Amino acid sequence: MNPNDILKQQFLLIVDNQLRDNSPPETAQTLRRLQAEGYSAQEAKLLISQCVSVEVVNAMQFDKPYNNERYVRNLNKLPGQPTEE
């Protein structure tokens, strides 16, 4: 398994944990919205995981804390690309 596949699995695990814990609730809301727009559950989780990756990269690369406002803003942009702004 290559490093990208490992990261992808970890990001999807975070999404599954957020859904299980309903924290933040916007993750489950976004999953339902994307499914209503025609995305499969797996496709929707992959899109959500892109938002997770923005937060992980900011935490690791730039030593910045998790930003819930940006995370929710990026969830609301899906299926558009999340941003680091």
In this predicted model, what pLDDT tens digit does every residue of 44-77 receive, in sequence order? 999 999 999 999 998 888 888 899 999 999 999 9
**pLDDT recorded at residue 47:** 98
Q: Which residue has the tokens 């398994």?
A: 1
* pLDDT higher than 90, residue 39: yes
Give rounded-to-5 percent helix, strand, coil for the chain.
75, 0, 25
Whether the predicted pLDDT of 18 surpasses 90 = yes
* Distance in angstroms (rounded) separating the CA atoms of residues 54 and 52: 5
29, amino acid identity:
Q
What's the chain's average pLDDT? 95
Q: Does 29 score more than 90 pLDDT? A: yes
User: From the DSSP assignment, how many helices (H) and strands (E) are in the chain?
Assistant: 4, 0
Nearest to 44 by CA among 10, 7, 70, 19: 19
